[in-house]
Structure 1
Amino acid sequence: MYYPDSYGGIEQVIRQLAQSRLDGVKHGVFTLSKQGFDDRRCIEVDGVPVTRARAHFSLASTSVSFSALAAFRNAAAQADLVHYHFPWPFADVLHFAAGVRTPSILTYHSDIVRQRLLMPLYAPLMHRFLARMRVIVATSPNYLETSDVLKRHRDRVQTIPIGLDPAQCTSDEERVACWRERLGSGFFLFIGAIRYYKGLHILMEAARNAAFRVVILGAGPQERALKKQAGELGLCNVTFLGALPDADKYALLELCRGVVFPSHLRSEAFGVTLLEGAMFGRPLVSSEIGTGSSYVNIDGLTGYVVPPSDPDALRAVLHRLHADPALAAALGRNAHARFVERFQASTMRGRYQQLYESVLEGGIALDAAHHLALPRV
C-alpha cells in the first residue's frame, strides 16, 4: 500500500524519493488499494501521480489484484526505469506477466520471515525475479551480511541507507505544549504499527513495577492483545495513544526521554522510528536482531542494544536512562550526529540519483527519465 492507505516505514522511503524532485527525474507510483475508487484509478498525492489497482484479497499477507495487470503494463511501458520495493511477491508475478523489458532495480527491505513455510514454493520465482534486476539495493550493510537471499545475489547488491528530511519533520510549539500538559515529559516513546514482530509484549514485561513511563504511539492487529496484557500486569505507567498525525508524533519526540524499539524478529529490517528519534536527538534503545536497526543504533554510542526477548535487559537500560538525564542527553547528541552524517534524505536521494544515472547510462538521457516506484503491499 501507499499513502494515504498506509503510513509504514517503506511507504516513507518511497514518499521521500517520490517527492525529492531529483534533477530530470519524474516519479510515479503504482500500488494496490483497498479504498473506494469513484472511478479514479489515478490520483495525485503530494504532487506525485499514483496509479492504483483495486486489492481484491490477501494471500499469505500479500495483496492480490485481478485488475492490476493492464494498468501496470501501461505504467511500466511509459517509464524509463522501474523501481520495485521488496518483499511483495505479487510484483514478481506482475513483472513477468506484463513482460517488462524496462530497466529495473529493486530495494530489498526485508527477507520473508513469517511465511517461511511457503518459501519452497515461492523461492524459484523470487530468485528469477531478483536475477532480472540490474541492481538490488540493501538498506544497510548489516542486512546484507545476514540475509542468505542477498548473499546469493551479492554481485549486484549496493547499499543505500534510508534517510529522512528534517525540514519535513518539525514540531509545533503549541502542540508540544498541549502534550506536555497531558503527558509531561521524560517518558520513553514507541512509534509504529503494533504488529507481532515489534516486541511490545516484551516492553510490557520490562515496564512492570518500573519507575519510568512508556507511551505507545500507533495501532495495529496486536493492539487489543497488548492492552489486555498491560491490564493484566497492572501497568499504570503505560499510555496507549493509538494512531496520530505526524504533527503529534513530532511533538511527542520533543518531549520524550528516549525512543524504545523492542522489535525481536528479522521482520524488522531497519527501523525508521530509530531515525526519527536520532533526528530529534533522542537516545535509542533497540534489540540485536542482525538487521539495520543495529546500523542506526550503535550500542554505547547512540543508545543501547539489548538481546532480543529479554525484558530484564530492556528494563535495566531504560531505568539507566530514566535515572541519568545527562547520560540520555549525551547519547542523544551522538545519535543526532550520526543521523546528520549518514541518514539524511538528501544523502539517500543523491545516492539513488547516481544509481538511476548509472542504470540509464548509454541508453536514455537523464532529462528524459521517468521513475516508477512499486511499494510493497
Structure 2
Amino acid sequence: MEAYFPRIGGIEIVVQQLAEGFAQRFNDSSYVVTCSKDFQTYSEKRNGVSIISTGTLGRIASLPISPSYPFHLLQQTGDILQLHEPFLLGGMTYLTFLKQAKKRFKRLVVWWHSDIIRQKALAPLYTPLLNAVLHEADAIIVATPKHITSSKFLGNFSAKCHVVHYGVDISKFKETLESETKATYWREKYNKPIILFTGRLVYYKGVKYLVSAMENVPDAHLVIVGKGPLREELEEIAVKCPNNVSFIPFLSETDLIAMYKACEIFVLPSVENSEGFGIVQIEAMACGKPVITTDLETGVTYVNQHGKTGLVVPKCNSQALTDAINELLANSAMRSEMGEVAKSRVFKEFTVEGMVDKTLDVYNKILS
C-alpha cells in the first residue's frame, strides 16, 4: 500500500486496524510493505506489526516511484497477500512477477477502497492493469454494497466481492471524565452550537460549500479540523462569515473525540466518489451525533441513512446544507433521536472487531 500510520488517512487507518488485529490473533505474523516519504527505506515493528517503508524517488500522477518496493514485497511469504486498491504499484508488482508472487503467497485478496476518480486521462493505462489484478484476485473486499454498484470496475467481478464494513474502536468513544471535560471546554470556547467537519482540505471534500452555507447559519459555529492545499481558499470564503467559522489544523485523537462530543451536528459535504465511505462520519456517529452527508453513489449514504441517522442533501449545494443544518438546529429532539440511532448503528455494524473477524472469514473461505 502507499502509506501507513502515522501518515493518517482513511485507508491508512483501516490498514493499521487490520494489521494490528491480525498480529494480535496470529502471534505477530502480520507484515505491511508501504512507501516512505523520502529516499530511505525503513524497517520497524509497531504493535506486533512488521513494517517496511521503501524509499521513494518521487511521484508521477500520484503514483510513488519506489524501485525497491517489488523486492521487499516479494521477500515476504504468507497465506494471504492483500493489496489495497487503488494503489497501482502493488498491482504492477504482482502482475510483473506473477509466478514468483504465486509461489510466495497462497491467495491474493484485493481490498477495493474506491475507483480512481481524478486521473481520468490516464484511464487507458490503468484500466487494463486494475482489471488484470481483479481477475487474478481470489477475493475482493469492499466496505459496502454501494462500492460494487458505483464502481466502473467491479461489475464483472461481483461474484468475488465480499462486504466487510470499516470499523472504529468503540472503546475510545465511551464517556470519560477527560472527554467530557474537554468537550465542555470546546462548547464554552465557541459559545454557540458547534457544526463540525474534519478531514483533508482537498477538492473532493466539498468544504467550500459548507463554509458558504454558514453565511445563513448565524446561530452556530463551524469548526473545520484538518489541513490541505485549499486552506487559504476556504479562509477567503469564510471572510463573509468571520464570527462563525474556525480552522484547527490538527487535533490529537483524544481532543478530536472531545470535539465530536462537543458538536451538535457533523457534516461531510463531499462532492466526488473519491469519498467512498467517510470513516469520520462513523466516528461522529459513535459519539451519538447526527450527520449530514451528500447524495454520492458510494458507501457514504449507505452509512448515513436519511431520516434515521441524519440527513442526506444534494452535493455541491450550499443552500441545501444551510437548510439541513438549520432544520436540525431547530429541533433538539430530532438531533437526539438521530444521534442515538446513529450510535446504535455504529456499535452494531461498524466495529474494528467485526471488521477483522469478517476479513478473516473471507481468508478462511478462500483457503479452505
Going from structure 1 to structure 2, the CA distance change for 1:88 and 1:3 (only over 3 Å counts) comes to closer
Distance 1:161 1:148 in 2: 20
| Greater mean alpha carbon deviation, residues 259-268 or residues 320-329 | 320-329
Q: Deviations over 1:309-353 (max 9, x none)?
A: 111111001011122222111110010111122111111111111
Query: Structure 2 residue aligned with 1:305, among 275, 287, 312?
Result: 312
Query: Structure 2 residue aligned with 1:293, among 300, 306, 314?
Result: 300
1:343-362 matches, within 5 Å, as: 343-361=350-368
Query: Structure 1 residue aligned with 2:227, among 210, 216, 219?
Result: 219
| Greater mean alpha carbon deviation, residues 201-210 or residues 173-182 | 173-182
Going from structure 1 to structure 2, the CA distance change for 1:186 and 1:234 (only over 3 Å counts) comes to closer
Distance 2:172 2:63 in 1: 30
1:223-262 matches, within 5 Å, as: 223-231=231-239, 233-262=240-269
CA drift of 1:6 comes to: 1.5
| Greater mean alpha carbon deviation, residues 164-173 or residues 47-56 | 164-173
1:41 lines up with 2:42 in the alignment: yes
Query: Structure 1 residue aligned with 2:117, among 97, 113, 119?
Result: 113
Distance 2:367 2:17 in 1: 21
**Does the aligned pair in 2 maintain the 1:184–1:255 contact within 8 Å?**
no
Which amino acid letter does the alignment assign opposite residue 218 of structure 1?
G
Which amino acid letter does the alignment assign opposite residue 86 of structure 2?
P
1:31 lines up with 2:34 in the alignment: yes
Q: Deviations over 1:197-254 (max 9, x none)?
A: 00001101111132221100111122222122222x2432111001221111101011
**Does the aligned pair in 2 maintain the 1:3–1:45 contact within 8 Å?**
no
Distance 1:35 1:254 in 2: 37
Which amino acid letter does the alignment assign opposite residue 210 of structure 2?
L
Distance 1:44 1:220 in 2: 29
% same residue: 28
**Does the aligned pair in 2 maintain the 1:185–1:257 contact within 8 Å?**
no
Runs of 4 or more above 4 Å deviation = none
Q: Could you say which structure has the greater relative contact order, defined with CA pairs below 8 angstroms and 6 or more residues apart?
A: 1
How many residues align structurally? 356
Distance 1:355 1:168 in 2: 27
Q: Deviations over 1:87-111 (max 9, x none)?
A: 0111111112333112110110001
Root mean square deviation of aligned Cα = 1.7
1:86 lines up with 2:85 in the alignment: yes
Distance 1:53 1:10 in 2: 18
**SS state at 2:75 partner:** helix
1:138 lines up with 2:137 in the alignment: no
Which amino acid letter does the alignment assign opposite residue 332 of structure 1?
G
1:57 lines up with 2:58 in the alignment: yes
CA drift of 1:179 comes to: 2.9
1:124-203 matches, within 5 Å, as: 124-169=128-173, 172-173=178-179, 174-184=181-191, 186-203=193-210
Distance 1:139 1:215 in 2: 28
Distance 1:43 1:142 in 2: 36
Which amino acid letter does the alignment assign opposite residue 92 of structure 1?
G
TM-score, scaled relative to structure 1: 0.90
Distance 1:150 1:257 in 2: 37
| Greater mean alpha carbon deviation, residues 19-28 or residues 248-257 | 19-28
Distance 2:39 2:199 in 1: 25
Distance 1:241 1:23 in 2: 37
**SS state at 2:118 partner:** coil
Distance 2:183 2:284 in 1: 16
CA drift of 1:47 comes to: 3.1
Distance 1:184 1:20 in 2: 40
1:331 is matched with 338
Going from structure 1 to structure 2, the CA distance change for 1:36 and 1:119 (only over 3 Å counts) comes to closer
Distance 1:32 1:49 in 2: 14
Specify every segment of 5 or more residues in structure 2 that has no aligned partner in the other structure, as ranges: none
CA drift of 1:59 comes to: 1.4
2:11 is matched with 10
